[in-house]
Structure 1
């Protein structure tokens, strides 16, 4: 794509094209909530127009994403195509617990370990004083 600085695109469409959000509606909700910034200015509308070289800051789950727009895109394509639309300025880092998850009462379990067994549940209740 040619980098024409006059080209613009709605921010909700771009976030959806770049596969940051599963649906365009979710991208719109994030924009309406004021959780997206373009060059440090808060965006309040999903119709806000963005250009190539704009820097976006937004939350995606527990992570804060900072990306520079490299291309606007024309469709929501595969992930490999979507990654060409932006440069990640703050790569997502793993949490301090790594592959562990903190569950109720401060108990740490391996991610994907499933539901606690009966014994683990009793031990958890004992730690909580229940």
Structure 2
């Protein structure tokens, strides 16, 4: 882990810092303009340096703002990856507020007990008189 000197490609750094499982996933998210470096949408080839501020929008609307504290192009263990960045206080507060919101008001779709109708259910639906609105009765 180098803390000074030249930077590392953004997609490599995001992969090494364990924000994404693969480098191609990181590059895909960068291509969708979900990552900004110092307030500017970035390209995958942009070099990240110590002190840069990254704003990440991940799946599920999760938004994080981190400051680069170290540069590495090698994916190491989680504690080493966490040493590469520091999350801002505002970002941590926002994530905690979102987690609390999800705890108190869960997603309505999660309360559905049953999924698709089974074959038996479909047969019962088929027996239902669909032509009840016919005028010839």
TM range, smaller chain: 0.7 to 0.9
Question: Structure 1 unaligned runs (5+)?
Answer: 110-114, 119-130
> Are positions 1:116 and 2:113 aligned together?
yes
- Separation in 2 of the partners of 1:19 and 1:2? 17
What's the CA shift string for 1:83-128, capped at 9, x where partnerless? Answer: 0000011123215131763133xxx64xxxxx7259xxxxxxxxxx
Selected match of 1:59 from 36, 57, 68: 57
- Give the superposition deviation at 1:3: 3.1
Shift of 1:74: 4.0
For the 8 Å contact 2:2–2:72, the answer to whether it is kept is: no
Larger Rg belongs to? 2
Provide the residue aligned with 2:107 in structure 1.
102
4+ residue runs of structure 1 moved beyond 2 angstroms? Answer: none
Give 1:27-42 correspondences, 5 Å limit. 27-42=26-41
Q: Which residues of structure 2 form unaligned runs of 5+? A: 116-137
Structure with greater strand share of residues:
1
The number of equivalent residue pairs is 108
Q: Distance in 1 between matches of 2:102 and 2:73?
A: 39
More helix by share: 2
